[in-house]
Amino acid sequence: MGLADPQGPAIELREISKRYGEVTALSGFGLRVPYGATYGILGPNGAGKTTAIRVLLRIIAPDTGSVSLFGGPVSQKALDRIGYLPEERGLYRRMRVQRLLTFLAQLKGMSTRDSAPRIDEWLERLDLTDRRDARLQELSKGNQQKIQFISAILHDPEIVILDEPFSGLDVINQQVLREIIDDLKRRGRTIIFCTHMIAQAERICDHICILAHGEKVIDGPLDEIKRRHDDGAIALRLNDRSPVAVERVRSLTLVDRVHAEGDEMEVILRPGHQPDTLLSALVELGFGIRRFEVIEPSLERIFLERVGAIPEALESGTLEVTHV
């Protein structure tokens, strides 16, 4: 049962500012997270994402501004209804798995009788049943990550905050975790999802907030954000996959810019030009065309256009999140 009327926001930050010496981590930052939303918070290094989460959880106090949870002030009762997976992992490495999870559940007000069956369920679901008596330091990094994830959701929180939840997991366990997050969404949990994996955010989240230099540059439902940035991008794949072909497309006067990855191109036209004009130009140049499709803008392209990224991020398809 919720702590407040679910008609209001589950989380609200109002005019939050925070400085560390000469560094402004947040400046007038505000965020309203509806009940049941899966909200992705993205940002390059130094953007202020981690600071926003720490202010929300009362780990640090803002210089100015206020926070509300479940429609009221931040209280211990409200915080007990939150599950938090921090980016900086912190477990008692010498404790055994079963004892550690029991202890962490007690900190959230659960009795051993109530927590025991849930621990069994989650250990089985994440293929850790045979490791219940192992010490944390004996587990692989990926299995330690799974234990920390269990500790964040064991008490069945109404709000789940996941900061880089896929870090240290292989592809199979990333898929298992995505399925669990999907299950939390179906059950109406409010999820804050912080990641440098732009494709994962686009796949999981229905709302997006992008921070840069301590300020919010994009905020809202993902479908609305894409509609606002829809500039008629064209997915293009040519028979000629050479860098020369990409440059020939990029040099066309009607083309504003080209994002190329592998043999795929995303072409943005200059204002006033239509996709059929590009198609005619490509045919006239003698290109063989394997794919020509008008598409909605990707979240990665919106991010790059509004914030920019370091070259390594462009090459890998990922972007670093802030540690501020």
Instruction: Assign domain 231-295 to a CATH class.
Output: alpha beta
Three-state secondary structure call for residue 111: coil
Per 3-state DSSP, what percentage of the chain is helix, strand, and coil (rounded to 5)? 35, 30, 35
What is the residue-level pLDDT of the chain in tens, covering all 324 positions? 444 455 679 999 999 999 999 999 999 999 999 999 999 999 887 788 889 999 999 999 999 999 999 999 999 999 999 999 988 777 788 999 999 999 999 999 999 999 999 999 999 999 999 999 999 999 998 899 999 999 999 999 999 999 888 887 889 999 999 999 999 999 999 999 988 788 889 999 999 999 988 999 999 999 999 988 877 789 999 999 899 999 999 999 999 989 888 889 989 999 888 899 999 999 999 999 999 998 888 888 888 888 875 333 333 333 433 333
User: With the CA atoms of 130, 136, 138 and 141 taken in that order, what torsion angle do they form, in degrees rounded to the nearest 10?
Assistant: 100
- Burial label for 273, CB within 10 Å (0-12, 13-18, 19+), is middle
Query: Are 15 and 65 spatial neighbours (Cβ–Cβ below 8 Å)?
Result: yes
Can you tell me the distance from the alpha carbon of 147 to that of 150, in angstroms, rounded to the nearest whole number?
5
Question: At CA 69, angle to CA 163 and CA 53, rounded to 5?
Answer: 25
Buried residues in 86-103 as b, exposed as e (16+ CB within 10 A)? bbeeebeeebbbbebbbe
Can you tell me the distance from the alpha carbon of 145 to that of 134, in angstroms, rounded to the nearest whole number?
14
Tokens 């789940």 label which residue?
A: 160
Task: Report how far apart, in Å, the C-alpha atoms of 298 and of each of 36, 95, 201 are.
Answer: 24, 44, 11
pLDDT confidence of residue 188? 95
pLDDT confidence of residue 45? 73
Pick one of 3.40.50.150, 3.40.50.300, 3.40.50.2300, 3.30.70.920 as the CATH number of 9-226. 3.40.50.300
The pairs formed by 130-133 with CB atoms below 8 angstroms and a separation of 24 or more are: 131/97, 132/96, 132/97, 132/98, 133/96, 133/97, 133/98
Buried residues in 286-312 as b, exposed as e (16+ CB within 10 A)? ebeeeebeeeebbbbbbbbeebebeee
Task: Report how far apart, in Å, the C-alpha atoms of 169 and of each of 129, 147, 247 are.
Answer: 18, 12, 38
Q: In the chain, what is the straight-line distance between the N-terminal and C-terminal CA atoms, in Å? A: 34
Q: At what angle do helices 112-125 and 97-107 cross, to 10 degrees?
A: 130
Task: Report how far apart, in Å, the C-alpha atoms of 202 and of each of 207, 224, 300, 303 are.
Answer: 9, 13, 8, 11
Domain ranges of the chain: 9-226, 231-295
Nearest to 26 by CA among 5, 3, 56, 2: 56
Q: Which helix (H) or strand (E) holds 77?
A: helix 76-79
Q: Nearest 5°: phi and psi at 7? A: -70, -30
pLDDT confidence of residue 318? 39
Nearest to 148 by CA among 208, 68, 90: 90
Query: Are 128 and 147 spatial neighbours (Cβ–Cβ below 8 Å)?
Result: yes
Which tokens belong to 295?
């598409």
User: With the CA atoms of 43, 46, 50 and 51 taken in that order, what torsion angle do they form, in degrees rounded to the nearest 10?
Assistant: -130
